[in-house]
Amino acid sequence: MAKSYDVVVIGAGPAGYVAAIRCAQLGLRTACVDEWVNKKGKPALGGTCLNVGCIPSKDLLQASENYYRLQHQFGAYGIQADKVSIDISTMIAHKDRVVNDLTSGIATLFKANKITAIHGHGRLLDGKRVEISDPGSNKPKETIEGQSIIIASGSDAIDIGEAPTDGDRIVNSTGALEFLEVPKRLAVIGAGTIGLELGSVWRRLGSEVVLLEALDTFLPAVDQQIAKEAMRQFTRQGLDIQLGTRVVSASVKQKRVSIRHRGKNGEQELKVDRLIVAVGRRPNTGNLFSPESGLLLDERGFINVNEACRTNLPDVYAIGDVVRGPMLAHKGSEEGVAVAEVIAGGTGHVNYEAVPWVIYTAPEIAWVGKTEQALKEAGEPYKAGAFPFAANGRARAMEEAVGMVKIVAHEATDRVLGVHIIGPFASELIAEAVLAIEYCASAEDLARTIHAHPTLSEALHEAALAVDKRALHKVN
């Protein structure tokens, strides 16, 4: 007879493992099925985010930023360092150590919360049964049952036929975290979040980096005033961002990648040492469910869910990258908590209007809520205020006085509709803005809130004042 649990979670990324922990906290007997194998061939929890995504990429971004600042910025403080060098193998080893510590930490949390971790590929069958097979073999080894099922199978990097990855010279975002030497010339297909972050890592370490972006608009989801400033800063850093450029083909010849691309100047050839394909991600639904289960997908391949993350099947939920909404780890985690609380008989809620976004370049880009262009298109009356970090004392002391904070608020009610930041520690500063939107705060509320001096957060305070043209430390 199949083992039975109150909840079976398929996937142990940020959505799945958080859902499993919250279910266990609420007294539900929980199992979590996950097939991830780390670079040593051992099972590892944490999914893409902890193993080859959010965490390792931020580790390399921090390492490369430290290296760059030591070479180019610390001299302003009188700090001189001759013959600065970097050991890429040590950098990669540090990244691997951080990843191992965090994935091991999840295993410890599972044990402490009495969650049954099952290594294998989970496949939803009819009757709320989950078939578990050895990863990569499709040979079933057992079937378990759940009173409720949570699908959190995540997403995969999108491959394109024009540039097939080979795991060596042409790689996806995973492969870009494993280079053991700095490429002399590097091309990236895609100038979105992943492309910019990975391109920034290797540019700061010495690569000549070209980003080939098919869209004509740079960062279209970002407030365009912020995107324009980002383009200016990245260009100054040496990133060659070519918009309106489509890759026709890419092939490897004598350890060099030959790329044919078509843009404003017609078809051209580019030769580089490495090529990163970073054109986005797609929901991981391959061999995820049997036809007999009756699970429905939408037209884009995502699992079809309602506002409460319920699928078309009774007591079967789906969360994270495999459903609609932004593919962000924290969004998936919040959905996991909400679904766990619903299963336990409570209420769960995720405010999708208050989900923060971050691009971890230098300067960082972060935003929450609506952009100015979206408000214009909707015909919604608004007012906006911005404050530059060039006028912020802490940013100047840090030698990071670039970018700005921008706030858009409703013209009549003054309610904060969106906050957009490019500058130092934008990823941390955005938390106050998220709270403001969650609590339906007005720009006046932020303007009347005392911010410590000198801090970067004063730029948010000044931007709130600037909404009504009364900033104190800039000309209105």
Q: Rounded to an integer, what distance in angstroms lies between the CA atom of residue 376 and that of residue 344?
A: 42
Residue of 379, 377, 397, 381 whose CA lies nearest to 389: 397
118 vs 9, 132, 134, 155, 463, CA distance in Å?
10, 8, 11, 20, 50
Number of H helices, E strands in the chain: 12, 22
Residues recognised as catalytic: 453
Q: In a 3-state reduction of DSSP, which class is residue 470?
A: coil
- Supply the DSSP symbol for 163: S
- 457 Cα distance to chain centroid: 23
Three-class secondary structure assignment of 211-269 = EECCCCCCCCCCCHHHHHHHHHHHHHCCCEEECCCEEEEEEEECCEEEEEEEECCEEEE
What end-to-end distance do the CA atoms of the chain give, in Å?
73
Q: Strand pairing of 208-212 and 240-242?
A: parallel
Encoded tokens for 267: 């078809």
Contact indicator for 61, 38 with CB cutoff of 8 Å:
no
Quick one: angle between helices 14-25 and 329-343, nearest 10? 30
Residue with tokens 């691009």: 359
Tokens of 353: 């209007």
DSSP state of 389: G
- Reference 309, options 325, 294, 293; nearest CA is 325
DSSP per-residue codes, 172-205: -TTGGG--SS--SEEEEE--SHHHHHHHHHHHHT
